Each structure stands twice: as structure tokens, then as C-alpha cells.
Structure 1
């Protein structure tokens, strides 16, 4: 599906979409926000880490004097569940061009004790105020046209690890990185895909926090299966994305001791590198 066709099918808009509603936070007191984690963003039995990062990112955008995430680093402490949650933020520094803050998301466990799920340290600024000079050796990933790529809906049987989140995303994966779905993983640790939200909402800086963690794990293409929980995820947002589908490329070069890294790049329809990330994740070996 070419970019023009993607634009024609767009229905939701930024600020009025399922993603916006499901990442909404309500200020209870200065720095304290109530939210409801939606069951629509589940991977296996846990809430997707990129979705969670967008929830905390929205709270920080309200708490800090700057509204755009520049660098967001998250440590995932315990698996989050759909349902009520509280985000507590703290302004560490409010500068002229950058502000830094922390945020933690809390839920109650089965014994009724409050438990911290995720802790974030982030710097925010104004993406529109950045200089427009670009000096880079980075190149957009080479992807076949959308109509030559495949999503979860194209699989003859449910893809291992797929779940509710797949219905909320527009994923069209490069066939060259889909060997795992056919029982023949390449062993290269690569995943590439066209990316968007299923309701047609265009990308913004907050949804980029989701995009870096929304593809199937590169561990699948290495030949592993099962849950690959995130330990730590750092995202750098480089500029505000242009309308249209994104391209996401993720690579893993080293798996050791039951942990692997995933390096992601997100490119927009104007061939700009709009986000980068590095993630440490644990895998089940054997």
C-alpha cells in the first residue's frame, strides 16, 4: 500500500484517537496523575513497554515546562497489568531549552500493596525550535512496497506472541525478516516493518515511544520464541515526524548470558531519522 493510499484511509487524528484515549492521564495533584492501562495493548500477558512509555511520556509532557520528549530512559521493574495506575512525576531541572524530570508508574499487587512498575528519567524540549541542519551517514531501511509486505492478519495461523496490540497497529513486515513465522529463522537478528496506528492517526513524538517497541522481537529471527521482557529502554526523539507511514528497523548483534540488545531506527515519510532507541531485554534460552 503506497503512502497515498495510507493517507486516504486515515480516520483518527492526533489528539482524537484510540492511542490518545488509552494513554490519557488525569492530574490529581501537582505531579500526580491517574490513568487506566488499556487491555488493548497487551503482549502475551503483559502491557507493551512502548505503550507504557507513552503513558509516562504524556504525564511528563504535562509536568515539565517543555512538551516534547528528547531522551527518555526507562527501567521496567515489574510487569504491568491492564487497569488503574498512578504516575508520580518530579521536575529535576527546568532549563531554557531542556527540562529534565522523573516519572514512576505504580499499581497494586494481589496483596493490595502498591508496587512500582516502571521508572523513567527524561529530558524534554521543543522539537520545533531545533536547527534544521542534518549531517549524517545514516540511511533509511530498504523495504519492499507495503503491498509486498505482510502483517499479523496475513498469517495462516496466529503468530507466536501476537495478541491484542496487533489489532491496534498497522504493521507490514519485510518478508526478508519473516523466516521465523515460517519455521525458518534467518539467524540474523533483524526486523523491519512499515508502521502506523490501525485507526490511521499520524505519528507524533509520543507515538514514536511506542513505535520503537512495537515490532516482533528480533529474538524470533535468531531462532528463539516466547516472551522477551524489556529490562531497560532508552529512546531519542530527533524530530517531529511528517504525516504518513513510518519505517522501523531493529537489529540485534549480541545475545549473551540470556540478554540481548535491540537497536531501533524510525524513519518518516520524508526520509528523516525521527527516533532511535536501544533496549536491553532478557530471553529464555534452551
Structure 2
């Protein structure tokens, strides 16, 4: 089992069906808070377990909508699941994650998700149809992009999550690292797991939120708390590099949206998301 799979595997409570326990560590954090995409993968895997136990034949999260209520931190976490429906084509459930603070349960995030079997949904004409309106961006190859080995001193201490990943940000979107933000609300990168773990729908829930906020390129560095995130998994990715893009079209009233896309090594659009986040505060 990979390090990532170990980190997102929760243990069921034998005395309370639908209840699970997980141990969160700072290995998957940004600053002191756990990364929102990592948490989404944890919730996605836990709900997958609950649905399977309820007899569902739908292993893949095709749509998941999460509301982030407070920052999750290192320590024990408790996940409560509810199977809403298991149908012929899809199954639906919800899951909430809580942690205790001074002995009081505090809810961190809650998600509702629909699961299906992506292989059963696949259509031979899918690739031709989705390329009618969207084509894979043309980016510099991974070997020409910025990787964590080029990180400035202290960067990986502030963002431990990046130690667990192989993220190669493209030269045209990485100027903020040297204090030269582009002024465009866009960041793009190549992604893979350093241990060779192949991508799958659960991993993509994290990949959709694995890049720095696009506000970094708008000269707005700092923590951008996610309020909500809606992720759609469109297809099962093939092994190899994933191409990830994050972009914003609107920043106002202290909020911005961030749209993400993931393309796999075959050139297929495999996942999309939109999240609403708070603009980092200056100073």
C-alpha cells in the first residue's frame, strides 16, 4: 500500500456501522492546516468503503461537493457516513469529518457524493465528443518545469504536502516564487506520485487541489481558505503524468473562484472542479 493510500484509509468502528476513525498528520498539510484536496480524498475513500459495505457496485466518485467549515489539523479524526441510496447506475452518500478540540467535537468538513462505475459508463465515442470543445493545453514538458528540488530554503517546511508529491509547475506560471508574479490568475503543472502509484479517481480528488492558489500570481500570497469545492471525475485516467491547470476568472468582495482541470497521459480530460475560496489578506 502506498503512503498516500495509508494516509487516506480510515478504520471502521466495529460497534458503530458507518463510523470511521483516521489519524491525520502534518505530512499532508500547508502550514498547520491539512490540504483540502487530501481531505477530499480521505472523505471519498471512506464513503467508498461505506457504500461497498452497503452493497453498492459503484466504486468511483463521479461527483462530490464539500463544504469546508474549519481547518483540519494533525491528530485523530472521526468520519460519520450515511448511505442515501444505492441504485442501478449510481449510488449516493454523505460523510462528515470532525475532530475534538478541548474535548468538544468540531466539524471540519462535510461532503455529499455520487458514485458510479466509470468503466460501465464509458462510451467508445467519448474521446471524440469531449475534444469537440476542449483540447489538452500545450505546456512545456515536465523536465523543463519547476520541481521541489528547486524550491527556495524553507519552502518545503512551510508546505510539507509538496514533499509527498512530484509537482512540476510550468515556467510561465511560476514567477511568484522569485517575487515576480505574472499578474494572471493561472497556474499549471505536471503531476505524478513519486512512488510510482498510478492515478485513479480517488487520487484525482487531491490533485484537483494540489497546486498553490492562483492568487499567488496576482501578488496575493498567503493562505486562501477554501469555503466549498465541487469535483467531477469524468473518466478513469491512464498511467503516466497528469496535466493540471488552475484558473480564476473572478476575484471580488474578498472571494475568488478557482477552476481546475486534469488531463491524463492519453490527452483525455479526466476531472474538473470549481472551488470558492477567500482572498489572502495583505500584510
TM norm structure 1: 0.91
Match of 2:90 in 1: 98
**SS of equivalent residue, structure 2 residue 76:** strand
1:39 paired residue among 15, 23, 26: 26
Contact kept, 8 Å, 1:160 with 1:226, in 2: the verdict is no
Contact kept, 8 Å, 1:167 with 1:198, in 2: the verdict is no
How far off its partner does 1:58 sit?
0.7
Mapped to 1, the partners of 2:181 and 2:117 lie a distance apart of 42
1:74 aligns with 2:70: no
How far off its partner does 1:91 sit?
1.1
Mapped to 2, the partners of 1:162 and 1:252 lie a distance apart of 24
Change (3 A) 1:57 1:212: same
Match of 2:211 in 1: 215
Change (3 A) 1:39 1:155: closer
Match of 1:19 in 2: 4
2:36 paired residue among 42, 49, 64: 49
Q: CA RMSD in A?
A: 1.3
Runs of at least 4 residues off by over 6 Å: none
1:87 aligns with 2:79: yes
After superposition, the C-alpha distances for 1:216-254 in whole angstroms (9 at most, x for unaligned) are 110100110110111100100011110011000110111
Contact kept, 8 Å, 1:170 with 1:196, in 2: the verdict is yes
Match of 2:142 in 1: 146
Match of 1:12 in 2: none
TM norm structure 2: 0.92
Match of 1:123 in 2: 114
How far off its partner does 1:47 sit?
0.3
Mapped to 1, the partners of 2:66 and 2:158 lie a distance apart of 23
Aligned residues: 270
More deviation in 232-241 or 161-170? 161-170
- In the alignment, structure 1 segments of 5+ residues that lack a partner are 1-15
1:206 aligns with 2:193: no
1:192 aligns with 2:188: yes
Mapped to 2, the partners of 1:160 and 1:42 lie a distance apart of 11
How far off its partner does 1:40 sit?
0.6
Mapped to 2, the partners of 1:42 and 1:188 lie a distance apart of 26
**SS of equivalent residue, structure 1 residue 57:** helix
- In the alignment, structure 2 segments of 5+ residues that lack a partner are none
Match of 2:230 in 1: 234
**SS of equivalent residue, structure 1 residue 52:** helix
How far off its partner does 1:179 sit?
1.4
Contact kept, 8 Å, 1:212 with 1:265, in 2: the verdict is yes
Mapped to 2, the partners of 1:160 and 1:245 lie a distance apart of 22
**SS of equivalent residue, structure 1 residue 123:** strand
How far off its partner does 1:285 sit?
3.7
Mapped to 2, the partners of 1:264 and 1:234 lie a distance apart of 10
Contact kept, 8 Å, 1:230 with 1:279, in 2: the verdict is yes
How far off its partner does 1:143 sit?
1.3
Change (3 A) 1:161 1:176: farther
